[in-house]
């Protein structure tokens, strides 16, 4: 199985593609702050956040377009960073992207920076977390990025309503959310 990330790294880019990659990397490098008005969760326990999260909903963006059965696996690395393994099923089969995350400032605040491209990081802001840590709302550096994640591929209707109400109150366009299927979620991506 070849991932989009793997194909990107192994294909020799032309001048235009290389220029675009450099511009995107530079833009991503400066985007680790939370969106205005979004406050990361406090008293955050990073160790209990580790493990598997299933994508219940997301705003559309090119790097996940067409993927279903999306999940993220987080684990502690020996150097203290967090390994990030995102997988999803697309038209060509399973796609996997691997990266690393680090806390932005105080590790007791739900604000991480995540990189899939070397030294270039993007924001990962956990701004809502269920009391039992069964679901989380995560934004990127602006309100164009939103994920509703859960510890299982399904959320109860009440939990979904609660999470979406919080996202809407925070200024996200919840009517534009995509709810990927999880028909293969119990399978393990390669």
Structure-token match 């270039």, residue found: 120
Q: Average pLDDT in the 67-96 region?
A: 94
* pLDDT of 156: 95
- d(CA 184, CA 187) in angstroms, rounded, equals 5
- d(CA 190, CA 185) in angstroms, rounded, equals 12
Q: Does 190 have pLDDT greater than 90?
A: no
* Position 30 in a domain: yes
* pLDDT of 118: 78
Q: Does 39 have pLDDT greater than 50?
A: yes
* Position 40 in a domain: yes
Range of the domain at 121: 4-176
Q: pLDDT band for 48, please (50, 70, 90 cuts).
A: very high
Task: Look at phi and psi of residue 91 and say left if phi exceeds 0, alpha if psi is from -120 to 50, else beta.
Answer: alpha
The helix or strand, by DSSP H or E, that contains position 98, with its residue range, turns out to be strand 93-103
In this structure, what CATH number is given to the domain that contains residue 91? 2.40.128.20
Q: pLDDT band for 187, please (50, 70, 90 cuts).
A: low
- d(CA 178, CA 170) in angstroms, rounded, equals 18
Q: How much of the chain exceeds pLDDT 90, in percent? A: 66
């Amino acid at each position: 199985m070849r991932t989009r990330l793997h194909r990107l790294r192994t294909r020799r880019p032309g001048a235009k593609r290389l220029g675009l990659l450099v511009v995107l990397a530079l833009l991503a490098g400066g985007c680790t702050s939370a969106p205005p008005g979004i406050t990361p969760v406090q008293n955050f326990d990073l160790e209990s956040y580790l493990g598997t999260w299933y994508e219940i909903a997301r705003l559309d963006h090119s790097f996940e377009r067409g993927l279903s059965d999306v999940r993220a696996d987080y684990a502690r690395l020996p150097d203290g960073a967090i390994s990030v393994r995102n997988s999803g099923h697309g038209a060509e089969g399973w796609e996997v992207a691997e990266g690393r995350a680090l806390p932005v400032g105080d590790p007791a605040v739900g604000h991480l920076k995540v990189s899939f491209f070397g030294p270039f990081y993007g924001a990962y802001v956990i701004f809502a977390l269920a009391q039992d840590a069964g679901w989380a709302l995560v934004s990127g550096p602006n309100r164009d990025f939103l994920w509703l994640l859960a510890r299982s591929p399904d959320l109860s209707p009440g939990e979904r309503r609660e999470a979406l109400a919080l996202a809407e109150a925070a200024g996200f366009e919840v009517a534009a959310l995509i709810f990927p299927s999880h028909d293969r979620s119990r399978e393990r991506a390669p």
